[in-house]
Structure 1
Amino acid sequence: MILKVEHATLFEYDSPIYETATEVRLHPSNNHAAPQRCASFKLQVDPPATIFEYTDFYGNCVNHFNLLQSHKRVKIVATSVVETGIGNTSAADDEDIFLMDFSGESRYVHFDPAVRDFTTCFATNTDSYHLAESICRHINESFIYEPGVTDVHSTSAVVMALGRGVCQDFAHIMLATCRYLGVPARYVSGYLFGGSTPDGRDEASHAWCEVYCGKEKGWIGMDPTHSTLFVDDRYIKIGSGRDYGDVPPVRGTFKGNATEKLSVAVKVSSMDEKS
Protein backbone atom coordinates (compact mmCIF):
# COMPACT_ATOMS: atom_id res chain seq x y z
CA MET A 1 0.00 0.00 0.00
CA ILE A 2 0.99 3.62 -0.47
CA LEU A 3 -0.15 5.65 2.54
CA LYS A 4 0.02 9.33 3.34
CA VAL A 5 0.30 10.54 6.93
CA GLU A 6 -0.44 14.07 8.11
CA HIS A 7 0.47 14.51 11.77
CA ALA A 8 -0.10 17.95 13.35
CA THR A 9 1.00 18.80 16.89
CA LEU A 10 0.08 22.12 18.49
CA PHE A 11 1.48 23.43 21.78
CA GLU A 12 -0.32 26.51 23.18
CA TYR A 13 0.73 28.53 26.24
CA ASP A 14 -1.23 30.99 28.37
CA SER A 15 1.76 33.33 28.60
CA PRO A 16 4.93 33.81 26.52
CA ILE A 17 7.71 31.23 26.77
CA TYR A 18 11.25 31.16 25.36
CA GLU A 19 14.21 28.85 24.75
CA THR A 20 12.14 25.91 23.52
CA ALA A 21 14.12 22.71 22.82
CA THR A 22 12.16 19.99 21.00
CA GLU A 23 12.83 16.48 19.67
CA VAL A 24 10.51 14.96 17.06
CA ARG A 25 10.28 11.25 16.21
CA LEU A 26 7.83 11.28 13.32
CA HIS A 27 9.99 10.18 10.38
CA PRO A 28 8.79 6.74 9.18
CA SER A 29 11.36 3.97 9.43
CA ASN A 30 13.33 3.32 6.26
CA ASN A 31 15.10 0.16 7.37
CA HIS A 32 16.13 -1.98 4.38
CA ALA A 33 15.51 -5.09 6.50
CA ALA A 34 11.82 -4.21 6.96
CA PRO A 35 8.93 -4.32 4.43
CA GLN A 36 8.52 -0.53 4.41
CA ARG A 37 9.95 2.39 2.42
CA CYS A 38 9.56 6.07 3.24
CA ALA A 39 9.09 7.78 -0.14
CA SER A 40 8.97 11.32 1.25
CA PHE A 41 8.98 13.20 4.55
CA LYS A 42 8.46 16.90 5.27
CA LEU A 43 8.61 18.57 8.66
CA GLN A 44 7.31 22.13 9.14
CA VAL A 45 7.64 24.20 12.30
CA ASP A 46 5.90 27.46 13.20
CA PRO A 47 7.51 29.73 14.39
CA PRO A 48 10.15 28.83 11.78
CA ALA A 49 13.28 27.11 13.04
CA THR A 50 16.36 25.37 11.66
CA ILE A 51 15.72 21.64 11.91
CA PHE A 52 18.54 19.20 12.60
CA GLU A 53 18.61 15.41 12.41
CA TYR A 54 20.40 12.47 14.05
CA THR A 55 19.96 8.73 14.45
CA ASP A 56 19.49 7.52 18.02
CA PHE A 57 20.87 4.38 19.69
CA TYR A 58 18.00 2.20 18.41
CA GLY A 59 18.30 3.40 14.83
CA ASN A 60 15.37 5.82 14.93
CA CYS A 61 15.48 9.08 12.99
CA VAL A 62 15.22 12.09 15.32
CA ASN A 63 14.63 15.68 14.20
CA HIS A 64 15.27 18.48 16.67
CA PHE A 65 15.08 22.26 16.81
CA ASN A 66 15.37 25.22 19.21
CA LEU A 67 13.27 28.37 19.40
CA LEU A 68 14.99 31.21 21.25
CA GLN A 69 12.50 34.02 20.64
CA SER A 70 9.44 34.62 22.80
CA HIS A 71 6.32 32.77 21.59
CA LYS A 72 2.93 31.47 22.81
CA ARG A 73 2.41 28.59 20.40
CA VAL A 74 4.44 25.99 18.53
CA LYS A 75 2.95 24.07 15.62
CA ILE A 76 4.69 21.00 14.19
CA VAL A 77 3.36 19.38 11.02
CA ALA A 78 4.89 16.15 9.67
CA THR A 79 3.77 14.88 6.26
CA SER A 80 4.91 11.47 5.03
CA VAL A 81 4.32 9.18 2.09
CA VAL A 82 5.13 5.55 2.86
CA GLU A 83 5.09 2.37 0.82
CA THR A 84 4.18 -0.52 3.10
CA GLY A 85 4.34 -4.27 2.65
CA ILE A 86 3.79 -7.54 4.45
CA GLY A 87 6.62 -9.41 6.15
CA ASN A 88 8.89 -9.55 9.15
CA THR A 89 11.92 -7.46 9.98
CA SER A 90 14.99 -9.62 9.50
CA ALA A 91 17.50 -10.04 12.30
CA ALA A 92 20.86 -8.30 11.95
CA ASP A 93 24.14 -10.14 12.43
CA ASP A 94 24.95 -8.03 15.50
CA GLU A 95 21.45 -8.39 17.00
CA ASP A 96 22.41 -10.53 20.01
CA ILE A 97 24.07 -7.75 21.97
CA PHE A 98 21.01 -5.51 21.59
CA LEU A 99 18.58 -8.20 22.71
CA MET A 100 19.58 -7.51 26.31
CA ASP A 101 17.81 -4.13 26.12
CA PHE A 102 14.61 -5.85 25.05
CA SER A 103 14.76 -8.66 27.60
CA GLY A 104 14.41 -6.92 30.96
CA GLU A 105 12.48 -4.27 32.81
CA SER A 106 12.48 -0.68 31.61
CA ARG A 107 10.95 2.65 32.53
CA TYR A 108 7.35 1.63 31.79
CA VAL A 109 7.72 -2.15 31.72
CA HIS A 110 7.83 -3.81 35.15
CA PHE A 111 7.91 -7.41 36.35
CA ASP A 112 5.49 -6.68 39.18
CA PRO A 113 3.55 -9.46 41.01
CA ALA A 114 0.45 -8.98 38.83
CA VAL A 115 2.49 -9.48 35.65
CA ARG A 116 4.22 -12.54 37.11
CA ASP A 117 0.81 -14.03 37.98
CA PHE A 118 -0.43 -13.15 34.50
CA THR A 119 2.37 -15.23 32.91
CA THR A 120 1.49 -18.51 34.66
CA CYS A 121 -0.93 -19.69 31.97
CA PHE A 122 1.74 -19.29 29.27
CA ALA A 123 4.72 -20.89 31.00
CA THR A 124 4.35 -24.31 29.33
CA ASN A 125 4.66 -22.92 25.78
CA THR A 126 8.33 -23.05 24.74
CA ASP A 127 8.03 -21.82 21.12
CA SER A 128 8.58 -18.05 21.10
CA TYR A 129 6.31 -17.40 18.10
CA HIS A 130 3.31 -19.31 19.45
CA LEU A 131 3.95 -18.03 22.96
CA ALA A 132 3.87 -14.41 21.79
CA GLU A 133 0.74 -15.04 19.73
CA SER A 134 -1.00 -16.53 22.78
CA ILE A 135 0.00 -13.57 24.93
CA CYS A 136 -1.17 -11.10 22.30
CA ARG A 137 -4.55 -12.80 21.93
CA HIS A 138 -5.06 -13.09 25.70
CA ILE A 139 -4.37 -9.36 26.23
CA ASN A 140 -6.74 -8.47 23.39
CA GLU A 141 -9.51 -10.58 24.90
CA SER A 142 -8.89 -9.73 28.57
CA PHE A 143 -8.28 -5.97 28.66
CA ILE A 144 -10.78 -3.21 27.88
CA TYR A 145 -9.90 -0.40 25.49
CA GLU A 146 -10.81 2.82 27.29
CA PRO A 147 -9.16 6.19 26.57
CA GLY A 148 -8.63 8.59 29.44
CA VAL A 149 -8.03 6.15 32.27
CA THR A 150 -4.24 6.18 31.76
CA ASP A 151 -1.68 8.65 30.43
CA VAL A 152 1.68 8.44 28.66
CA HIS A 153 3.44 7.91 32.00
CA SER A 154 1.37 4.89 33.09
CA THR A 155 3.46 1.77 33.71
CA SER A 156 2.53 -1.83 32.99
CA ALA A 157 1.84 -2.26 36.72
CA VAL A 158 -0.77 0.52 36.63
CA VAL A 159 -2.46 -0.99 33.57
CA MET A 160 -2.51 -4.46 35.14
CA ALA A 161 -4.34 -3.01 38.15
CA LEU A 162 -6.87 -1.16 36.00
CA GLY A 163 -7.50 -3.91 33.46
CA ARG A 164 -8.03 -1.25 30.80
CA GLY A 165 -6.18 1.37 28.80
CA VAL A 166 -5.12 2.17 25.23
CA CYS A 167 -2.70 0.79 22.64
CA GLN A 168 0.42 2.05 24.43
CA ASP A 169 -0.71 0.35 27.65
CA PHE A 170 -1.47 -2.98 25.99
CA ALA A 171 1.92 -2.92 24.27
CA HIS A 172 3.62 -2.42 27.65
CA ILE A 173 1.70 -5.37 29.14
CA MET A 174 2.75 -7.58 26.24
CA LEU A 175 6.38 -6.48 26.56
CA ALA A 176 6.40 -7.23 30.29
CA THR A 177 4.85 -10.68 29.78
CA CYS A 178 7.10 -11.70 26.87
CA ARG A 179 10.27 -10.47 28.53
CA TYR A 180 9.50 -12.09 31.86
CA LEU A 181 9.08 -15.42 30.02
CA GLY A 182 12.42 -14.96 28.25
CA VAL A 183 11.22 -13.72 24.84
CA PRO A 184 12.84 -10.43 23.73
CA ALA A 185 10.28 -7.85 22.63
CA ARG A 186 10.38 -4.18 21.72
CA TYR A 187 7.91 -1.30 21.66
CA VAL A 188 6.93 0.12 18.26
CA SER A 189 5.53 3.59 17.61
CA GLY A 190 3.70 4.37 14.37
CA TYR A 191 0.33 4.56 12.68
CA LEU A 192 -2.47 2.23 11.59
CA PHE A 193 -4.48 3.03 8.46
CA GLY A 194 -8.20 2.69 9.04
CA GLY A 195 -8.05 1.97 12.72
CA SER A 196 -5.64 3.36 15.29
CA THR A 197 -8.56 2.78 17.67
CA PRO A 198 -10.89 -0.27 17.78
CA ASP A 199 -13.73 1.72 16.18
CA GLY A 200 -11.60 2.37 13.10
CA ARG A 201 -10.64 6.03 13.55
CA ASP A 202 -7.21 7.50 12.78
CA GLU A 203 -7.08 9.99 15.62
CA ALA A 204 -3.60 9.51 17.03
CA SER A 205 -0.37 7.61 16.79
CA HIS A 206 -0.53 3.87 17.33
CA ALA A 207 1.67 1.45 19.28
CA TRP A 208 2.32 -2.27 19.07
CA CYS A 209 5.11 -4.80 19.70
CA GLU A 210 7.79 -6.62 17.74
CA VAL A 211 8.78 -9.99 19.16
CA TYR A 212 12.12 -11.62 18.42
CA CYS A 213 11.55 -15.18 17.20
CA GLY A 214 15.11 -16.17 16.32
CA LYS A 215 17.43 -15.54 13.39
CA GLU A 216 15.23 -17.36 10.91
CA LYS A 217 11.90 -15.62 11.67
CA GLY A 218 13.39 -12.33 12.85
CA TRP A 219 11.20 -9.66 14.45
CA ILE A 220 7.46 -10.27 14.12
CA GLY A 221 4.99 -7.43 14.63
CA MET A 222 2.01 -8.16 16.89
CA ASP A 223 -0.74 -5.79 18.00
CA PRO A 224 -2.65 -6.66 21.20
CA THR A 225 -5.09 -3.77 20.66
CA HIS A 226 -6.73 -5.32 17.59
CA SER A 227 -8.20 -8.80 17.18
CA THR A 228 -6.29 -9.32 13.91
CA LEU A 229 -3.21 -9.59 16.18
CA PHE A 230 -0.54 -9.50 13.46
CA VAL A 231 0.94 -6.42 11.80
CA ASP A 232 0.25 -6.12 8.06
CA ASP A 233 0.54 -3.49 5.31
CA ARG A 234 -1.91 -1.15 7.10
CA TYR A 235 0.78 -0.37 9.67
CA ILE A 236 3.42 2.36 9.36
CA LYS A 237 6.41 2.04 11.67
CA ILE A 238 8.09 5.17 12.99
CA GLY A 239 10.57 3.64 15.40
CA SER A 240 11.18 1.18 18.20
CA GLY A 241 12.73 1.00 21.65
CA ARG A 242 12.43 -0.50 25.10
CA ASP A 243 9.10 1.25 25.75
CA TYR A 244 7.25 4.50 25.03
CA GLY A 245 9.99 6.50 26.73
CA ASP A 246 12.41 5.72 23.87
CA VAL A 247 10.10 6.76 21.01
CA PRO A 248 7.69 9.55 22.03
CA PRO A 249 6.38 11.39 18.94
CA VAL A 250 7.32 14.81 20.35
CA ARG A 251 9.32 15.65 23.45
CA GLY A 252 10.70 18.96 24.64
CA THR A 253 11.25 21.57 27.29
CA PHE A 254 10.94 25.32 27.59
CA LYS A 255 11.73 28.26 29.86
CA GLY A 256 8.91 30.41 31.13
CA ASN A 257 6.07 30.48 33.63
CA ALA A 258 3.19 29.13 31.56
CA THR A 259 0.60 26.37 31.36
CA GLU A 260 0.87 24.17 28.29
CA LYS A 261 -2.03 22.84 26.22
CA LEU A 262 -1.37 20.05 23.71
CA SER A 263 -3.51 19.20 20.67
CA VAL A 264 -2.76 16.41 18.18
CA ALA A 265 -4.46 15.60 14.87
CA VAL A 266 -3.53 12.59 12.73
CA LYS A 267 -4.85 11.63 9.31
CA VAL A 268 -3.77 8.47 7.48
CA SER A 269 -5.06 8.10 3.92
CA SER A 270 -4.48 5.68 1.05
CA MET A 271 -2.96 7.10 -2.11
CA ASP A 272 -3.74 3.84 -3.91
CA GLU A 273 -7.42 4.77 -3.87
CA LYS A 274 -6.65 8.07 -5.58
CA SER A 275 -4.61 6.62 -8.43
Structure 2
Amino acid sequence: MKLKVEHTTLFEYDAPIYETLTEVRLQPGENPTIPQQVLSFELKVDPTANFFQYTDFYGNTVHYFNLLQSHKRVEIKSIAVVDTTSEHCYPGEENEIMLYEFLNESKYIHFDPQIQKFAAEFQSLINDPYKLSEKVCRTINSTFVYEPGVTDVHSTTAVVMTLGRGVCQDFAHIMIATCRYLGIPARYVSGYYYGGATREQFDMASHAWCEIYCGAEIGWAAFDPTHDTLFVDERYIRIGAGRDYSDVTLVRGTYKGNVKERLKVIVRVSAVA
Protein backbone atom coordinates (compact mmCIF):
# COMPACT_ATOMS: atom_id res chain seq x y z
CA MET A 1 0.00 0.00 0.00
CA LYS A 2 1.36 3.42 -0.96
CA LEU A 3 0.50 6.08 1.63
CA LYS A 4 1.09 9.82 1.80
CA VAL A 5 1.43 11.66 5.11
CA GLU A 6 1.14 15.44 5.41
CA HIS A 7 1.95 16.65 8.93
CA THR A 8 1.72 20.35 9.83
CA THR A 9 2.62 21.76 13.24
CA LEU A 10 1.88 25.44 13.88
CA PHE A 11 3.11 27.38 16.93
CA GLU A 12 1.67 30.87 17.44
CA TYR A 13 2.65 33.37 20.16
CA ASP A 14 0.96 36.52 21.47
CA ALA A 15 4.28 38.41 21.39
CA PRO A 16 7.62 37.93 19.60
CA ILE A 17 9.96 35.15 20.77
CA TYR A 18 13.57 34.50 19.83
CA GLU A 19 16.35 31.92 19.98
CA THR A 20 14.12 28.98 19.10
CA LEU A 21 15.66 25.50 19.13
CA THR A 22 13.39 22.77 17.77
CA GLU A 23 13.93 19.10 17.00
CA VAL A 24 11.56 16.87 15.07
CA ARG A 25 11.20 13.16 14.52
CA LEU A 26 9.00 13.16 11.42
CA GLN A 27 10.92 11.09 8.88
CA PRO A 28 9.69 7.49 8.58
CA GLY A 29 12.46 5.03 9.26
CA GLU A 30 13.17 1.33 9.09
CA ASN A 31 10.31 -0.87 10.26
CA PRO A 32 11.54 -4.10 11.90
CA THR A 33 8.07 -5.69 11.94
CA ILE A 34 6.30 -4.59 8.73
CA PRO A 35 8.57 -3.66 5.77
CA GLN A 36 8.19 -0.09 4.55
CA GLN A 37 10.05 1.87 1.89
CA VAL A 38 10.26 5.66 2.08
CA LEU A 39 9.76 6.87 -1.49
CA SER A 40 10.10 10.56 -0.67
CA PHE A 41 10.40 12.88 2.32
CA GLU A 42 10.28 16.68 2.47
CA LEU A 43 10.63 18.94 5.51
CA LYS A 44 9.99 22.69 5.56
CA VAL A 45 9.89 25.39 8.22
CA ASP A 46 8.57 28.96 8.15
CA PRO A 47 10.46 31.22 8.99
CA THR A 48 13.08 29.57 6.83
CA ALA A 49 15.94 27.82 8.64
CA ASN A 50 18.67 25.30 7.89
CA PHE A 51 18.02 21.77 9.11
CA PHE A 52 20.67 19.61 10.74
CA GLN A 53 20.35 15.87 11.26
CA TYR A 54 21.51 13.07 13.55
CA THR A 55 20.49 9.54 14.56
CA ASP A 56 19.53 9.11 18.21
CA PHE A 57 20.37 6.21 20.54
CA TYR A 58 17.32 4.21 19.40
CA GLY A 59 18.06 4.62 15.69
CA ASN A 60 15.49 7.34 15.00
CA THR A 61 16.24 10.11 12.51
CA VAL A 62 16.17 13.54 14.17
CA HIS A 63 16.16 16.91 12.38
CA TYR A 64 16.73 20.13 14.29
CA PHE A 65 16.94 23.85 13.54
CA ASN A 66 17.54 27.22 15.20
CA LEU A 67 15.68 30.50 14.68
CA LEU A 68 17.65 33.40 16.15
CA GLN A 69 15.56 36.27 14.81
CA SER A 70 12.36 37.35 16.60
CA HIS A 71 9.13 35.79 15.32
CA LYS A 72 5.50 35.22 16.39
CA ARG A 73 4.80 31.95 14.59
CA VAL A 74 6.61 28.80 13.51
CA GLU A 75 5.14 26.40 10.97
CA ILE A 76 6.75 22.99 10.43
CA LYS A 77 5.49 20.83 7.59
CA SER A 78 6.59 17.37 6.53
CA ILE A 79 5.38 15.34 3.55
CA ALA A 80 6.29 11.68 3.19
CA VAL A 81 5.28 9.00 0.71
CA VAL A 82 5.78 5.47 2.00
CA ASP A 83 5.22 2.06 0.43
CA THR A 84 4.10 -0.53 2.99
CA THR A 85 3.27 -4.21 2.81
CA SER A 86 1.41 -6.73 4.96
CA GLU A 87 4.41 -9.06 5.05
CA HIS A 88 5.92 -9.56 8.51
CA CYS A 89 9.65 -9.49 9.25
CA TYR A 90 11.26 -12.01 11.56
CA PRO A 91 14.66 -10.51 12.38
CA GLY A 92 15.55 -13.05 15.09
CA GLU A 93 17.82 -12.34 18.03
CA GLU A 94 18.21 -8.81 19.39
CA ASN A 95 21.17 -7.18 21.12
CA GLU A 96 20.88 -7.94 24.85
CA ILE A 97 21.89 -4.42 25.85
CA MET A 98 19.09 -2.92 23.75
CA LEU A 99 16.61 -5.41 25.15
CA TYR A 100 17.54 -4.28 28.66
CA GLU A 101 16.55 -0.73 27.68
CA PHE A 102 13.00 -1.96 27.14
CA LEU A 103 12.59 -3.96 30.36
CA ASN A 104 12.52 -1.22 32.99
CA GLU A 105 10.39 1.65 34.17
CA SER A 106 10.78 4.93 32.28
CA LYS A 107 9.45 8.48 32.40
CA TYR A 108 5.78 7.65 31.76
CA ILE A 109 5.82 3.91 32.43
CA HIS A 110 5.73 2.80 36.07
CA PHE A 111 5.22 -0.56 37.77
CA ASP A 112 2.61 0.85 40.15
CA PRO A 113 0.28 -1.47 42.14
CA GLN A 114 -2.50 -1.20 39.57
CA ILE A 115 -0.17 -2.34 36.79
CA GLN A 116 1.06 -5.21 38.95
CA LYS A 117 -2.51 -6.35 39.62
CA PHE A 118 -3.44 -6.04 35.95
CA ALA A 119 -0.33 -7.96 34.87
CA ALA A 120 -1.13 -10.84 37.23
CA GLU A 121 -4.06 -11.77 34.95
CA PHE A 122 -1.59 -12.83 32.26
CA GLN A 123 1.03 -14.62 34.37
CA SER A 124 -0.03 -18.05 33.10
CA LEU A 125 1.12 -17.13 29.55
CA ILE A 126 4.58 -15.96 30.62
CA ASN A 127 6.29 -18.71 28.59
CA ASP A 128 4.57 -17.67 25.36
CA PRO A 129 5.28 -13.94 24.90
CA TYR A 130 3.33 -13.71 21.64
CA LYS A 131 0.09 -15.17 23.04
CA LEU A 132 0.54 -13.13 26.20
CA SER A 133 0.98 -9.92 24.18
CA GLU A 134 -2.09 -10.67 22.08
CA LYS A 135 -4.20 -11.25 25.18
CA VAL A 136 -2.94 -8.08 26.89
CA CYS A 137 -3.67 -6.10 23.73
CA ARG A 138 -7.18 -7.53 23.41
CA THR A 139 -7.95 -6.91 27.09
CA ILE A 140 -6.87 -3.26 26.94
CA ASN A 141 -8.86 -2.71 23.75
CA SER A 142 -12.03 -4.21 25.24
CA THR A 143 -11.88 -2.74 28.74
CA PHE A 144 -10.38 0.74 28.38
CA VAL A 145 -12.42 3.58 26.86
CA TYR A 146 -10.99 5.74 24.09
CA GLU A 147 -11.68 9.34 25.12
CA PRO A 148 -9.57 12.29 23.95
CA GLY A 149 -9.04 15.11 26.42
CA VAL A 150 -9.10 13.18 29.70
CA THR A 151 -5.32 12.73 29.67
CA ASP A 152 -2.42 14.72 28.25
CA VAL A 153 1.02 13.91 26.87
CA HIS A 154 2.46 13.86 30.40
CA SER A 155 0.01 11.32 31.87
CA THR A 156 1.68 8.30 33.47
CA THR A 157 0.40 4.73 33.52
CA ALA A 158 -0.89 5.27 37.06
CA VAL A 159 -3.15 8.09 35.88
CA VAL A 160 -4.50 6.06 32.95
CA MET A 161 -5.15 2.98 35.09
CA THR A 162 -7.14 5.09 37.54
CA LEU A 163 -9.21 6.72 34.80
CA GLY A 164 -9.73 3.58 32.73
CA ARG A 165 -9.71 5.74 29.62
CA GLY A 166 -7.39 7.74 27.41
CA VAL A 167 -5.93 7.76 23.89
CA CYS A 168 -3.48 5.69 21.82
CA GLN A 169 -0.41 6.94 23.70
CA ASP A 170 -1.96 5.90 27.02
CA PHE A 171 -3.01 2.44 25.83
CA ALA A 172 0.45 1.77 24.39
CA HIS A 173 2.02 2.79 27.72
CA ILE A 174 -0.28 0.43 29.64
CA MET A 175 0.54 -2.51 27.39
CA ILE A 176 4.27 -1.79 27.56
CA ALA A 177 4.21 -1.49 31.37
CA THR A 178 2.34 -4.79 31.68
CA CYS A 179 4.74 -6.70 29.44
CA ARG A 180 7.85 -5.19 31.02
CA TYR A 181 6.63 -5.97 34.53
CA LEU A 182 6.30 -9.60 33.42
CA GLY A 183 9.87 -9.57 32.10
CA ILE A 184 9.09 -9.17 28.39
CA PRO A 185 10.91 -6.37 26.49
CA ALA A 186 8.50 -3.81 25.03
CA ARG A 187 8.98 -0.50 23.25
CA TYR A 188 6.82 2.48 22.29
CA VAL A 189 6.28 3.32 18.60
CA SER A 190 5.30 6.66 17.06
CA GLY A 191 3.86 6.89 13.56
CA TYR A 192 0.66 7.19 11.58
CA TYR A 193 -2.40 5.09 10.80
CA TYR A 194 -4.45 5.13 7.59
CA GLY A 195 -8.10 4.87 8.55
CA GLY A 196 -9.76 4.62 5.12
CA ALA A 197 -10.57 6.36 1.87
CA THR A 198 -13.29 8.81 2.92
CA ARG A 199 -12.60 12.28 4.28
CA GLU A 200 -14.12 11.36 7.64
CA GLN A 201 -11.66 8.50 8.03
CA PHE A 202 -8.48 10.51 7.53
CA ASP A 203 -6.47 10.34 10.73
CA MET A 204 -6.06 13.91 11.92
CA ALA A 205 -3.33 13.09 14.41
CA SER A 206 -0.25 10.94 14.74
CA HIS A 207 -0.66 7.46 16.19
CA ALA A 208 1.10 5.27 18.75
CA TRP A 209 1.36 1.53 19.29
CA CYS A 210 3.92 -0.90 20.71
CA GLU A 211 6.34 -3.63 19.76
CA ILE A 212 6.96 -6.65 21.97
CA TYR A 213 10.03 -8.88 21.76
CA CYS A 214 8.75 -12.44 21.53
CA GLY A 215 12.05 -14.31 21.40
CA ALA A 216 14.59 -15.11 18.70
CA GLU A 217 12.17 -17.20 16.63
CA ILE A 218 9.63 -14.42 16.20
CA GLY A 219 11.59 -11.28 17.04
CA TRP A 220 9.65 -8.05 17.51
CA ALA A 221 5.88 -8.20 17.00
CA ALA A 222 3.76 -5.06 16.69
CA PHE A 223 0.41 -4.63 18.47
CA ASP A 224 -2.08 -1.77 18.55
CA PRO A 225 -4.36 -1.81 21.62
CA THR A 226 -6.31 1.21 20.33
CA HIS A 227 -7.88 -0.40 17.25
CA ASP A 228 -9.87 -3.60 17.51
CA THR A 229 -7.87 -5.22 14.70
CA LEU A 230 -5.07 -5.42 17.35
CA PHE A 231 -2.28 -6.25 14.89
CA VAL A 232 -0.17 -3.73 12.97
CA ASP A 233 -0.32 -4.14 9.18
CA GLU A 234 0.22 -2.20 5.95
CA ARG A 235 -2.02 0.67 7.14
CA TYR A 236 0.65 1.80 9.61
CA ILE A 237 3.63 4.06 8.94
CA ARG A 238 6.40 3.79 11.52
CA ILE A 239 8.44 6.88 12.46
CA GLY A 240 10.51 5.44 15.28
CA ALA A 241 10.59 3.80 18.70
CA GLY A 242 11.86 4.32 22.24
CA ARG A 243 11.17 3.53 25.88
CA ASP A 244 8.02 5.67 25.93
CA TYR A 245 6.50 8.81 24.40
CA SER A 246 9.32 11.03 25.67
CA ASP A 247 11.86 9.26 23.43
CA VAL A 248 9.90 9.69 20.19
CA THR A 249 8.03 12.98 20.60
CA LEU A 250 7.48 14.10 17.02
CA VAL A 251 8.02 17.84 17.60
CA ARG A 252 9.52 19.60 20.62
CA GLY A 253 11.64 22.62 21.35
CA THR A 254 12.51 25.60 23.51
CA TYR A 255 12.49 29.35 23.04
CA LYS A 256 13.21 32.60 24.87
CA GLY A 257 10.27 34.83 25.69
CA ASN A 258 7.52 35.25 28.29
CA VAL A 259 4.49 34.63 26.07
CA LYS A 260 1.43 32.45 25.64
CA GLU A 261 1.80 29.65 23.09
CA ARG A 262 -0.94 28.21 20.88
CA LEU A 263 -0.36 24.86 19.18
CA LYS A 264 -2.21 23.45 16.20
CA VAL A 265 -1.43 20.10 14.57
CA ILE A 266 -2.96 18.87 11.32
CA VAL A 267 -2.26 15.38 10.01
CA ARG A 268 -3.63 13.86 6.84
CA VAL A 269 -2.93 10.28 5.80
CA SER A 270 -4.16 9.29 2.35
CA ALA A 271 -3.70 6.47 -0.14
CA VAL A 272 -1.73 7.15 -3.31
CA ALA A 273 -2.88 5.49 -6.50
In structure 2, the residue matched to 1:98 is 98
- On the 8 A contact 1:8/1:78 being kept in 2, the answer is yes
Amino acid at match of 1:220: A
Superposed, which structure 2 residues align to 1:137-152 within 5 Å? 137-152=138-153
In structure 2, the residue matched to 1:67 is 67
Task: Report how far residue 87 of structure 1 moved.
Answer: 3.5
- On the 8 A contact 2:94/2:216 being kept in 1, the answer is no
In structure 2, the residue matched to 1:83 is 83
Percent of aligned pairs with the same residue? 63
TM-score where L is the length of structure 2: 0.95
Task: Report how far residue 90 of structure 1 moved.
Answer: 3.9
Matched, 1:20 2:28: no
**Which region of structure 1 is more displaced relative to structure 2, 133-142 or 88-97?**
88-97
Mapped to 1, the partners of 2:186 and 2:94 lie a distance apart of 16
In structure 2, the residue matched to 1:162 is 163
Superposed, which structure 2 residues align to 1:87-236 within 5 Å? 87-91=87-91, 95-125=95-125, 126-194=127-195, 200-236=201-237
Q: CA RMSD in A?
A: 1.4
Change (3 A) 1:233 1:182: same
Amino acid at match of 1:140: N
Matched, 1:242 2:243: yes
Question: 1:146-184 deviations in whole A, cap 9, x for unaligned?
Answer: 000000000111100000000000000000001001111
Amino acid at match of 1:188: V
Amino acid at match of 2:194: F
Task: Report how far residue 32 of structure 1 moved.
Answer: 7.4
Aligned length: 269
Amino acid at match of 1:80: A
SS of 1:16's partner is strand
Mapped to 2, the partners of 1:107 and 1:94 lie a distance apart of 23
Mapped to 1, the partners of 2:237 and 2:178 lie a distance apart of 24
- On the 8 A contact 1:2/1:270 being kept in 2, the answer is yes
Amino acid at match of 1:153: H
SS of 2:121's partner is helix
Amino acid at match of 1:252: G
4+ long deviations beyond 4 Å: 31-34
Mapped to 2, the partners of 1:213 and 1:65 lie a distance apart of 38
SS of 1:8's partner is strand
- On the 8 A contact 1:34/1:90 being kept in 2, the answer is no
